[in-house]
Amino acid sequence: MGKALARAGCAVSIWGRNPEKNRAALAELAPCGAPVEARTCDVVDRAAIEDAFAGTLQAFGRVDGCFANAGVGATGRQAFVDRAADGNGGACLRSTSTASFMSSRWRFGT
């Protein structure tokens, strides 16, 4: 999704917990020619989401869409569920929904 949007000229902000993967995503998106950035963000941490959203707004001036896709491979599934059990998430789908909801809430001030 990020690559298609960048190829269409959209500014893209990638959020992820892994800085190395974020750098790899930037390296893949940079040749598309659109403004791109990556932010370290754990989508089960409300404060991290709010910080990432504020930074994205500062960088680009607005946010037109949010495409959340939190998930893990089979080997990391239990670790993810254990980490997400802090009250902000629970499973991959739930954390994705939480991140989208909190980002939207932050944007519209509710």
CATH, residue 68: 3.40.50.720
* % of the chain surpassing 70 pLDDT: 62
Of the candidates 47, 54, 44, which has an alpha carbon nearest to the alpha carbon of residue 16? 44
| Segment (H or E) for 75 | none
Instruction: List Cβ neighbours of 2 (8 Å cut-off, separation of 6 or more).
Output: 12, 14, 25, 29, 36, 67
Q: Does pTM top 0.85 for this prediction?
A: no
Domain count, the chain: 1
Q: Are 89 and 101 in contact (CB under 8 A)?
A: no
- Cα angle: 92, vertex 98, 104; to 5 degrees: 140
pLDDT value of position 6: 93
CA 47, CA 24: separation in Å to the nearest integer? 25
User: In which domain, by residue range, is 28 found?
Assistant: 2-108
Q: What are the tens digits of pLDDT across the range 17-42? A: 899 999 999 999 999 999 999 999 98
